[in-house]
Structure 1
Amino acid sequence: MKLQGQSHLDTYVKSMASSQPFVRFIDVPELEEKPTLGGTQSVEAYVYDVIEKNIPLVRNIVMDILSSLALDGVKVKGFVADFFCLPMIDVAKEVISLPFYVFLTTNSGFLAMMKYLADRHSKDTSVFVRNSEEMLSIPGFVNPVPANVLPSALFVEDGYDAYIKLAILFTKANGILVNSSFDIEPYSVNHFLDERSYPSVYAVGPVFDLKAQPHPEQDLARRDELMKWLDDQPDASVVFLCFGSMGRFRRPLVKEIAHALELCQYRFLWSLRTEEMTNDDLFPEGFLDRVSGRGMICGWSPQVEILAHKAVGGFVSHCGWNSIVESLWFGVPIVTWPMYAEQQLNAFLMVKELELAVELKLDYRVYSDEIVNANEIETAIRCVMSKDNNVVRKRVMDISKMARKATYNGGSSYSAIEKFIHDVIGIKL
């Protein structure tokens, strides 16, 4: 489905199709009347609107696929949709009478929050989340959850409405696959195993692409330069800073980060996404000369390759769940600096619930005017990079081994995938 401003995905899909021949990609015809992302509407509400308008088009495609497969004697047993495609449940359940499953690319804690929202709404439809100091008792979390770490969209009316609709649709699915594992989130995963009134939850992660395709905007020559520089650095000596494709900073905050990197004196690799990249006064005067040889700055970066490199010892991250999963897999501890979407909840989960990250910020928002000062940033970097009695580093290394083991035959995630397949095709274990 074509979303506004995502033309680069065509290149990505083509490269993915050539490397994964067993996966078939089908372009949904573009909508005649495309929804637009207004200034006051949340992204979540916009995406929900786009998905709903695509339902008739997807229904036609699915019916054609089923007819074609039936002619070949192939029986379709289930329908799996992405989190935002939950409105497609009507296509599966009402039109073709197939069990409907959801693949949630984030964690079990997020799912616990969605269940909490649906349960609360069923008791009182007038309740609205306020960005306050309120502490919420969410089943599936050990600790009370501050309201100010919930997704930003919950604080605006159309965003809240979209989340509630999605939360209710979750309850109608046959099952939900989450990109996490029992080893990463034991309390939350166990909570859902005991929840008989909710769809089955399969913790099948970590799921990510170890051989990720380069982004179309990435300079491959620059990538080679970065990797060669990393090859020359001592083990676990480099702190990597990367804040996702939407994690852009204004000039004052860029200067604070630069100052912090000077203060802490660690080697660094900084993936800097800013519209002001070419301005001479983006960094403190003389910064680039003073850190020459000790640090590298780039635009797009090959994140999986960088996190996998033995020279990388810490990761200052926006706490997107894919980034967290990758860092846990490679045993790289995180400093939390969330930006948007559910990243504040991810940061809370990593720091307070799982003790797998160092806290810089839990409730930062990318559109805020907050300036995080250099001393705060320096302290967090020193904490994550310290080799002496670093409890977080040890826990992350232990979880890395456990998360990998979970995906092997006999591991918890491998068994969850087996159970999912057996449930879909109707075989009782």
Structure 2
Amino acid sequence: MKKAEVVFIPIPAMGHIVALVEVAKLLVQRDDRLSTTVFIMHPTLDPSTTKYTESLAASTLPDRMRVINLPNIESISPETKGRYWLTSLIEGQKTHVKEYVSRIRTQSELSPGSPQVAGFIFDTFATGMRDVANEFGVPWYVFSASGAAFIGCMLHFQVLHDEQGVDLMEFKNSDAELKIPSLANPLPAKLAPSLVFEKDSLATFIEHARILAEARGILVNTFVEFESYAVNSLSDGKAPPVYPVGPIVKQVGDGRDLRSDESNNYTEIMEWLDDQPPSSVMFLCFGSWGSFSEKQVTEIAFALEQSGHRFLWSLRKPSQIHKAGKRESPSDYANFQEILPEGFLDRTTKIGKVIGWAPQVDILAHPAVGGFASHCGWNSTLESVRFGVPVATWPLYAEQQFNAFQMVIELGLAVEIKMDYRRDFYGDDEIMVGSDDIIKAIKLVMEQESKTRKKVKEMSRISEKTLKPGGSSFSSLGRLIEDMMDNLS
């Protein structure tokens, strides 16, 4: 029996690593012929990512799966290289990846029963590593940690830029509407991904879109029933074959292992939720880089108090710049009194709980949670669908405005807090969202008999079946495995 090794390379950011690690687990659990190796590049984007990767190395991974932490290239970081740090990091890590893959290849030559390298799977923004796959003469695939509609958007913007000479940066404050093949509705141009609005990041975005055409196939963390319009639009023969393999979400219970210093908080949070009625709690959480200024925090606090709904609020301290110019990621407050309005905690003690770090998957899976105010990162979007929790969209950066548009307008699975809210990755240039808009969205999302809630619950039921035998993503993964096995000599 031929055995195959599949090599994964995510970009070193939490959401991207988590998704690819779960795909790697899925492959080995699905087929005894497969082994997987996930390479983690260092430095990672923030300390919580490092903690997560350390927990992987120490924890018990499935048989035939390993996670390898590549050496830390200290001279390359967002602080030293700015916007080019990822390109520099990929260049710097190529020799390490080659070294490890050479060892796997030597092993398979010396021992006939060992797995042969059958394919590389690169994150959409790690395709600079394709030189390594080409050198070994091994096919490579792309994994999108965003949705199918986003891949369609990348390909469409590349055509606008390369073939029609459109200056995409002009869309930033434009009132134009764009007809994108992967969306059924016109997209307001100002909701395009942040990457297209700046010269340096636009060049990177377009380059990665061009590279997609070279891939053997594109894996997308989605499922056909969820993004049927987008998936169909990508099956036009122009793009490489698309394999919807989602929803890939972290397993319930993983939160306990993520950060040992948080285990007390974890227990406290889950016990508090156990005491709340079903679907009664509004959960607010804005991702590992989500934080707000004191003024905005006051508006959110006022809205929560006025709405009268129970709430669980993950409130993080904005990222700080230290003397050496190093930018820290958002962290937990030592004392919430320093940021919240006076008396807020006392007045809301019976209905609400303010926390720092949040075990998001475990919270969304809890029956007490009835609504989710989210930054609309793609992993969070899939988690909300998987656990049937309607979203109030508050996008911050990257492609989150695009995701919010998709959830609210395209799919009807969310309500809007402010869809065109945008600020830079580090939380600078913040605009204010008033408490009235927040209250309105909370009331809509928490309405028990709403059309949105019914649609989300139905999509949740479908998402549960799709990865099981007979499901669309199960079949898609089977096709991918057969394609990779065909790569073996």
Could you tell me which amino acid in structure 1 is paired with residue 432 of structure 2?
I
Of 467, 471, 478, which residue of structure 2 is paired with 1:407? 467
Q: Displacement, 1:54?
A: 2.3
The residue that corresponds to 1:19 in the other structure is 60
The answer to whether residue 71 in structure 2 is matched with residue 29 in structure 1 is yes
Could you tell me which amino acid in structure 2 is paired with residue 358 of structure 1?
V
The answer to whether residue 329 in structure 2 is matched with residue 289 in structure 1 is no
Asked if structure 1 preserves the Cα contact closer than 8 Å seen for 2:169 and 2:199, the reply is no
Q: How far, CA to CA, are the matches of 1:32 and 1:391 in structure 2?
A: 51
Q: How far, CA to CA, are the matches of 2:221 and 2:163 in structure 1?
A: 29
Q: How far, CA to CA, are the matches of 1:217 and 1:279 in structure 2?
A: 22
Could you tell me which amino acid in structure 2 is paired with residue 227 of structure 1?
M
Check 1:218–1:286 CA distance in 2 against 1; reply closer, same or farther (3 A cut): same
The answer to whether residue 403 in structure 2 is matched with residue 346 in structure 1 is yes
The answer to whether residue 399 in structure 2 is matched with residue 359 in structure 1 is no
The residue that corresponds to 2:435 in the other structure is 374
Q: Displacement, 1:159?
A: 0.4
Check 1:310–1:8 CA distance in 2 against 1; reply closer, same or farther (3 A cut): closer
Q: State how 1:19-418 maps to structure 2 within 5 Å.
A: 19-21=60-62, 22-31=64-73, 33-34=75-76, 36-37=78-79, 41-42=82-83, 45-73=84-112, 74-93=115-134, 95-124=135-164, 127-130=167-170, 131=172, 132-193=174-235, 195-211=236-252, 212-213=254-255, 214-216=257-259, 219-275=262-318, 277=333, 278=335, 280=337, 282-366=339-423, 367-388=428-449, 390-418=450-478
Q: How far, CA to CA, are the matches of 1:32 and 1:86 in structure 2?
A: 22
Asked if structure 2 preserves the Cα contact closer than 8 Å seen for 1:218 and 1:301, the reply is no
1:168-219 residue CA offsets vs partner (Å, 9 max, x unmatched): 11111010100000111110011112x2121110011000121424443752
Q: Displacement, 1:221?
A: 1.1
Q: Displacement, 1:220?
A: 1.4
1:298-318 residue CA offsets vs partner (Å, 9 max, x unmatched): 000111111011100000001
Q: How far, CA to CA, are the matches of 1:137 and 1:274 in structure 2?
A: 38
Could you tell me which amino acid in structure 2 is paired with residue 136 of structure 1?
L
The residue that corresponds to 2:482 in the other structure is 422
TM-score scaled to structure 1, two decimals?
A: 0.93
TM-score scaled to structure 2, two decimals?
A: 0.82
Stretch deviating more after TM superposition (95-104 or 22-31): 22-31
Asked if structure 2 preserves the Cα contact closer than 8 Å seen for 1:89 and 1:173, the reply is no
Q: How far, CA to CA, are the matches of 2:150 and 2:401 in structure 1?
A: 11
Q: How far, CA to CA, are the matches of 2:97 and 2:175 in structure 1?
A: 42
Q: How far, CA to CA, are the matches of 1:27 and 1:279 in structure 2?
A: 36
Q: Point out where structure 1 has 5 or more consecutive residues left out of the alignment.
A: none
Q: Displacement, 1:147?
A: 1.8
Q: Percent identity?
A: 40
Q: How far, CA to CA, are the matches of 1:5 and 1:90 in structure 2?
A: 24
Q: Displacement, 1:135?
A: 1.5
1:265-304 residue CA offsets vs partner (Å, 9 max, x unmatched): 0000000012594364522222111101210000001111
Check 1:258–1:33 CA distance in 2 against 1; reply closer, same or farther (3 A cut): closer
Q: How far, CA to CA, are the matches of 2:281 and 2:166 in structure 1?
A: 50
1:93-125 residue CA offsets vs partner (Å, 9 max, x unmatched): 2x1111111111111011011111222233145
Check 1:371–1:175 CA distance in 2 against 1; reply closer, same or farther (3 A cut): same
Q: How far, CA to CA, are the matches of 1:339 and 1:82 in structure 2?
A: 22
Could you tell me which amino acid in structure 2 is paired with residue 198 of structure 1?
A
Could you tell me which amino acid in structure 1 is paired with residue 398 of structure 2?
A
1:329-382 residue CA offsets vs partner (Å, 9 max, x unmatched): 110000000111111111011011111101111121233331111111000000
- The answer to which structure has the higher strand fraction is 2
Asked if structure 1 preserves the Cα contact closer than 8 Å seen for 2:266 and 2:359, the reply is yes
Asked if structure 2 preserves the Cα contact closer than 8 Å seen for 1:217 and 1:300, the reply is no
What RMSD in Å do the two structures reach over aligned CA positions?
2.0
Check 1:309–1:140 CA distance in 2 against 1; reply closer, same or farther (3 A cut): same
Check 1:126–1:319 CA distance in 2 against 1; reply closer, same or farther (3 A cut): closer
The alignment partner of 2:67 has SS state of coil
